[in-house]
Structure 1
């Protein structure tokens, strides 16, 4: 955790269903992102535009998640990836969702978690 928050990546990856990249390429991208900032706990991504799939990536592993509970809500602005993160990490009391798009903020709001814009998050702290 970083300053009492859990950092999680939740990424729409519709380029997979459009044929621009493969699941394996996205998994490698997510693992790279996990190593950029050690405070990031997990990465979730939705490779289909319908929001019916979700993959969970950690530093050493990756797996597809059964999404019956959040079917159709995994693609942001749906809140499925955030809700899945909450289920996967029940001991975490607070999640800070940092995003750079309107659908990120909408997903955080729908999930009832704190949101901060990436632009303001990157500003120097005193």
Structure 2
């Protein structure tokens, strides 16, 4: 078996409209397709990241809360590469997103930082 690339990442949110606003308006991801699945009382929004990768944003009634931050078993965080991390942090802060201090990865000497989505999912910005 040969894996070619990551096809998509699925994120479950507790408030679809709040998370949709965050991922589309604040993070600037492009909606590709949105559907409501009545039988599951669930929305699914497909989002493009720079025209390449896809994030599936799901809503479900009363999803369980994430057990811990960030060391729960399973997906630890999403990471996005940015050209200018200082500009990205400034942009997020102007949208009232709390962002950790910028740090330097001791292995790559690249700058990175973390913030969370509306449900507390850790998101990393990593300098290119």
Fold conserved between structures, TM > 0.5: no
TM-score norm. by structure 2 comes to 0.28
Using structure 1 for the length normalisation, give the TM-score: 0.29
User: Which one has a larger percent helix, Structure 1 or Structure 2?
Assistant: 1
* Structure showing greater Rg: 2
1 or 2, which has the higher strand percentage? 2
